[in-house]
Amino acid sequence: MNFASDNIVGASAPVLEALVRANAGAMPAYGADEITKRVEAAFSRIFEREATVLLVTTGTAANALALAAAVPPYGLAVCHAESHVIDDECGAPEFFMHGAKLVGLPGTGAKLTSETVATYLKGLRRADRQMPPKALSISQVTEGGLVYSLDELAGLSAVCREHGLFLHMDGARFANALVTLGCTPAEMTWKAGVDILSFGGTKNGCLMAEAVVVFDPALVEGLAHRRKRAGQVASKGRVLSAQFEAYLADDHWLANARHANRMAALLAEGLAGTPGARLPWAVQANELFPILPRTLDEALKEAGFIYHPWSTKSLPAGEVVADSEVMIRLVTSFATEEAAVRRFIDVARSAARREAAE
């Protein structure tokens, strides 16, 4: 009954079991353990190439480290105005980048178009007083639950190449996007021009496990030192690596994401048939942002459903949330039960019917 986020539940069973198994015995500390080595190899296998992998404890740390690798202290990083890096991390990227600046651009559903980015970059002055742009950071899935297509990624990547920017992908919900596109991890990242990736595990089955995956060798230097001085090297490295090993094994991560996305699709389907409710943009992963009559919202809360109201800043042109309405966010996860989804729809439809009858 809790659709507040995908980090409100613990780990999935295989991940938790792996953590318990890995607890036994002596292992070298600070990530020199064998499990960490195996996980690094697993990442290379999954991404079909050598990649430098740094396990960290939070998505904020992964994003901030990745951006610090790409952006010097006097540089700019471009992102969406509602992206997590600019809006939800209390300035972590600015801290790790040593004062470099994030610039937020607009876009429906928290998604950037290559036109928006190109226009912004072309408008910048070439002058000492202008911080030079050094990276573009996009979220795959976006904060609005949208998924960049491979073509869109290629377009953004082309703009980055033209202007000399690195391309960072915040993949807190990487798996959810991947199963939507049905492509390979390589296709959604380095083959599309992504230079450095925040790879999230926590929201999709881990208890606490995130990684920075570096594709561009130019970004590797010093990153291990940056992680250490950020207090992000786990003393008992297994606490992170054991989770990832189980997460990546047997396509467990993909199965988790598929379930989460399917639950979101079910919710979307149900809301489509609910009078008064509408979705401002397509549901493409495991989040949806319905606009509901306040009466529906109240009925759902009364029935015990938990979720957050949401920002209306990235609505499409022309879309307006009336005073009698509210825009909310619903998030599904590997642990979301279909019964809860069905109950949500039932309550929403009943309320809508009652409303219509009055």
CB of 1 to its own copies, least distance (A): 8
3-state secondary structure of 326: strand
**What is the bridge-based pairing of β-strands 291-293 and 287-288?**
unpaired
Site for its own copies, residues 184 to 213, rule: CB under 8 A: 202-203, 207-208
- Indicate which single residue of 234, 248, 283, 330 sits in contact with its own copies (rule: CB under 8 A): 234
- Indicate which single residue of 35, 53, 55, 64 sits in contact with its own copies (rule: CB under 8 A): 64
Q: Does residue 196 contact residue 216 with C-beta atoms inside 8 Å? A: yes
> Interface with its own copies includes 252 (CB under 8 A)?
no
The window from 147-155, 160-168, 220-228, 248-256 that contacts its own copies (CB under 8 A) reads 220-228
Question: Scanning the structure block, which residue is given the tokens 């290629």?
Answer: 154
Kindly state the tokens that stand for 11: 């780990």
- Indicate which single residue of 46, 78, 107, 129 sits in contact with its own copies (rule: CB under 8 A): 129
Kindly state the tokens that stand for 251: 């396509």
Q: Which helix (H) or strand (E) holds 96?
A: helix 92-96
3-state secondary structure of 55: strand
| Closest C-alpha among 265, 248, 264 to residue 332 | 264
HEC string for 245-270? HHHHHHHHHHHHHHHHHHHHHHHHHH
The window from 13-21, 211-219, 277-285, 294-302 that contacts its own copies (CB under 8 A) reads 13-21
CB burial class (10 A; 0-12, 13-18, 19+) of residue 214?
buried
> Interface with its own copies includes 341 (CB under 8 A)?
no
Residue 67 vs 159, nearer CB to its own copies: 67
> Interface with its own copies includes 23 (CB under 8 A)?
yes
> Interface with its own copies includes 220 (CB under 8 A)?
no
> Interface with its own copies includes 170 (CB under 8 A)?
no
> Interface with its own copies includes 217 (CB under 8 A)?
no
Query: Omega of the bond prior to 141 within 30 degrees of 0, cis?
Result: yes
- Indicate which single residue of 16, 118, 181, 268 sits in contact with its own copies (rule: CB under 8 A): 16
> Interface with its own copies includes 339 (CB under 8 A)?
no
> Interface with its own copies includes 225 (CB under 8 A)?
yes
Site for its own copies, residues 78 to 117, rule: CB under 8 A: 87-92, 94-101
Distances (CA, A) of 322 to 288, 305, 328: 19, 22, 13
- Indicate which single residue of 34, 122, 130, 150 sits in contact with its own copies (rule: CB under 8 A): 130
The mark string for 33-62 relative to its own copies (x by CB under 8 A, - otherwise) is -----------------------xxxxxxx
- Indicate which single residue of 80, 163, 226, 329 sits in contact with its own copies (rule: CB under 8 A): 226
Residue 128 vs 358, nearer CB to its own copies: 128
Question: How many amino acids of this chain bind its own copies (CB under 8 A)?
Answer: 73
What is the Cα–Cα distance from 58 to 85, expressed in whole angstroms? 13
What is the Cα–Cα distance from 312 to 318, expressed in whole angstroms? 12
